[in-house]
Amino acid sequence: MQPAPPDLPGDPRDPNRLAGASYFLTTLGAGLLLAQNWKRLGKPEWVRPTQIASLVGLLLALASIILGISIAVANKSLLFMIFVGGGAALGINFGIMLATVRTQVGPFKAWKTGGVPAMLAYPYRPNTTRNTFIVVFALCMAFVVGVAVLVSST
């Protein structure tokens, strides 16, 4: 493993470990850590979009919970809408975080095996990032709505 060149702030961090910080720092904190890792991966132009996505994800998650509760109060189906709002919140937050992790894992592994040149030459695939977010969001929503339907039908 070669040390980072002078224009990089240091060796990249393992994105899986950074995502693990969500247990202590919430998904917003882990997203901000992942955003800062872009500098170390040689993509400083991706720091700001990742920071914005992490913040917007948190705001959308809070909005979905508030919307779910307000709809539940209006329709008197509290449990169902809280589950739906919570599912959207989980899906948005973890979708953004896991999509970012998946995007960073490839160049991180390239750095570990081939050093900085391999990391900087890594071919990013934006469709993979988008598809990861969609799948994680859909799975969270399907699981939570399924649980809500089961609970509300009993």
Domain, as residue range, for 97: 15-153
Does residue 6 form part of some domain? no
Digit-coded pLDDT (tens) for 100-118: 899 999 999 999 999 989 9
Does residue 29 form part of some domain? yes
- Residue 42's nearest CA partner among 9, 17, 2, 1 is 9
Taking the CA of residue 146 as centre, how many other CA atoms within 13 Å lie in the half-sphere pointing to its CB? 6
Token pair for 36: 């800062």
Does residue 2 form part of some domain? no
DSSP assigned state of 13? P
Question: What total of structural domains would you count in the chain?
Answer: 1
Does residue 87 form part of some domain? yes
| pTM, entire model | 0.77
Cβ atoms of residues 19 and 101 within 8 Å: yes
Does residue 3 form part of some domain? no
pLDDT at 39: 92
| Residue 64 to residue 55: CA distance in whole angstroms | 14
Residues of the chain with pLDDT under 70: 1-7, 71, 75-83, 148, 151-154
- Residue 37's nearest CA partner among 58, 9, 57, 56 is 9
Q: Computed from CA positions of residues 56, 58, 60, 66, in that sequence, does the dihedral angle turn out positive or negative?
A: negative
| Residue 112 to residue 80: CA distance in whole angstroms | 46
Pure H helices in the chain: 15-20, 22-40, 47-75, 78-120, 126-153
| Residue 10 to residue 111: CA distance in whole angstroms | 12
